[in-house]
Structure 1
Amino acid sequence: MTKSPLLALVIAAAASLVQLGCAVLPEDTEEPVDADEQAAIMGNGLTFNGLTFNGLTFNGLTFNALTFNGLTFNGPVMAALSDPRGRQQLSAIVGCALPKGEAIRLNIDGVDHSFEGSIGLAPEWGKSGGACGENCKSWVSACVISRVNHLGQSVQISARGKDKALASARAEREGYTAREGAYFGDIFATPQKLHACVAPGASQIPRVCGPSIQGCSPIDVLGECDDVCGHELDDGAFDKCRDRSGKMQKAAVTVFLAP
């Protein structure tokens, strides 16, 4: 199995997650289309169970001790990656963090798996000796939360935000005009901090929450983005969003859908 600083932090993060169910989930394998023109269009099929999967353990190793040179892949880690939820979680995180053309390749139970980069919000994380600091954690968290789908069905979304990796071409903005909401938080925290706000004038985000935001737990829907976020970018993305305590988040990903 290939060792990687990205995988090390993924395993550390996953140890703190809250498991919500035991359904076997589909792998999210859909790649972004027209990446050169529409770099932030991505498929999404991550369910709540995949987002909060807690099957990865590391037998007493502390978060800070999980370094590129010190990581060992023990039985519990391998067992977790044998579960579709563990692979789905890793796929979503790698897709958000690494750019298109980069990947983490692992052999799990004798089967080769490739976890492909897509958006490139934290390219430094995949380099030898790399690390994921606060900005990396914030952007990857926002991206992963935005990929949750209530039914686990992959649909294409346009993800936009202040990071240059989320810059949108005109064709993307013209093709994806239905603003859904913004997502932000910290999937690496214990417990996780998962937040969303709905587009102005909307009351639901059915792609993520299903028929009602009242049943959207563990994602905390804070209200309309106009009230939650302090700034709107030229492409319609929200910035300077605050959680329920009033703390401003370092990153937010705004999702647009095709009409």
Structure 2
Amino acid sequence: MSDDVRDQPGGGEENQIIVMNGNDPVFFWQPSTQQALRALSEAPLRGADGELSDTPLLAHAEGRRFLSYVVTCALPEGDVLKDAAGTVSFHGAVGLASEWSSGALRDVASQRWVTACLLQTLNKLGMEVEVLMTGRHRSLGERPDASASDYTTPDATMFGNLFHADGAVAFSCTDTEVSTTCDIDLSQHMAQRLCDQSPTCGVTPLGPCDRSCTDVDGHPSCRSPEGDRYAEAISTYVHSTLSLGLPMECSP
């Protein structure tokens, strides 16, 4: 019997999709993990026999869990890769870089989309929390799901490039309306999910999103402190039940 290593995504509408969050930031940012990820991007994800391309990450449980998020973000729903032994399965879900299945991940936009998705899977407590991902990429909104309407609490916007030749870059910003109206530290309020301000998360926080991002046709377009523009940004929302601890006037 094979083991499934997978997130359990739901669906979305109008460029949104529900994905399980719970990626361990400590393991995520280990130099060996990031080096293995970059090496993996130099070849197709799918090997000659349909298996996941060989990588040191397959050798242990933490690496296989990390790979599950990589495949979830990169490949579309229905794509399944197994390890060489055929005992572990990795399931696609979002489909932000479907071309990676058959070739190296060279396209910068695809690198950035996969990065934004992987950053949004980080959870500083290692807990699994469903998040609604939104963005302008067409693959974020291919499967309607009525439950998406329950994800109303703004979380964070993340962007960057883990595959950058000069080293990984990762940025986040928080929703301006909630943080200013409620005068709270969102990283404390939603400790079950947020991984944009914790030092262990390896992401550079940029404060409220209106400082670094603008709305373009309903989706964020963000700028790094160095001035690089990222249209490949993903915003997230968490389920309304996670906002029950907010004061009445702060609840969405």
TM-score interval for Structure 1 and Structure 2 normalised by the shorter chain: 0.7 to 0.9
State the Cα deviation string for residues 55-106 of structure 1 (Å, max 9, x = none).
36999xx9699445xx99xxxx654421223222221111001001002211
Change (3 A) 1:104 1:216: same
State the Cα deviation string for residues 178-233 of structure 1 (Å, max 9, x = none).
111101011123432111000113242332338xx253551111010112102154
In the alignment, is the contact (CA less than 8 A) between 1:181 and 1:254 conserved in 2?
A: yes
Alignment partner, residue 7 of structure 1: none
Alignment partner, residue 149 of structure 1: 123
Equivalent position amino acid for 2:202 in 1 = P
Find out whether 1:231 has 2:205 as its counterpart: no
TM-aligned CA deviation for residue 246 of structure 1? 2.1
TM-aligned CA deviation for residue 115 of structure 1? 1.2
The residue correspondences of 1:167-186 to structure 2 (distance < 5 A) are 167=141, 169=144, 171-186=146-161
Distance 1:40 1:229 in 2: 21
Change (3 A) 1:182 1:233: farther
| RMSD value, Cα | 3.4
The count of aligned residue pairs is 217
In the alignment, is the contact (CA less than 8 A) between 1:184 and 1:195 conserved in 2?
A: yes
Equivalent position amino acid for 2:100 in 1 = W
Higher share of residues assigned helix: 2
Query: 2:222 aligned to 230, 237, 241, which one?
Result: 241
Distance 1:175 1:41 in 2: 11
Give SS of 1:183's match.
Answer: strand
Residue range with higher mean Cα deviation, 195-204 or 114-123: 195-204
Alignment partner, residue 165 of structure 1: 139
Give SS of 2:83's match.
Answer: strand
In the alignment, is the contact (CA less than 8 A) between 1:32 and 1:39 conserved in 2?
A: no
Distance 1:132 1:86 in 2: 23
Identity percentage over the alignment? 24
Equivalent position amino acid for 1:242 in 2 = R
TM-aligned CA deviation for residue 123 of structure 1? 1.2
Alignment partner, residue 195 of structure 1: 171
Alignment partner, residue 13 of structure 1: none
Alignment partner, residue 243 of structure 2: none
Equivalent position amino acid for 1:229 in 2 = C
- TM-score, normalisation: structure 2: 0.73
Find out whether 1:137 has 2:111 as its counterpart: yes
Distance 2:129 2:34 in 1: 31
Distance 2:41 2:5 in 1: 30
Equivalent position amino acid for 2:109 in 1 = N
Structure 1 residue runs of 5 or longer lacking an equivalent are: 1-26
Query: 1:93 aligned to 58, 67, 70, which one?
Result: 70
Change (3 A) 1:37 1:182: closer
Alignment partner, residue 250 of structure 2: none
Equivalent position amino acid for 1:252 in 2 = A
Change (3 A) 1:157 1:66: closer
The residue correspondences of 1:1-259 to structure 2 (distance < 5 A) are 29-33=6-10, 40-55=17-32, 66-67=42-43, 79-107=56-84, 112-127=87-102, 129=103, 131-167=105-141, 169=144, 171-189=146-164, 190-200=166-176, 201-202=178-179, 203-205=185-187, 206=191, 207-209=193-195, 213=197, 215-231=199-215, 233-234=217-218, 237=219, 239-259=220-240
Structure 2 residue runs of 5 or longer lacking an equivalent are: 49-53, 180-184, 241-252
Equivalent position amino acid for 1:114 in 2 = S
In the alignment, is the contact (CA less than 8 A) between 1:32 and 1:41 conserved in 2?
A: yes
Change (3 A) 1:28 1:255: farther
TM-aligned CA deviation for residue 250 of structure 1? 3.4
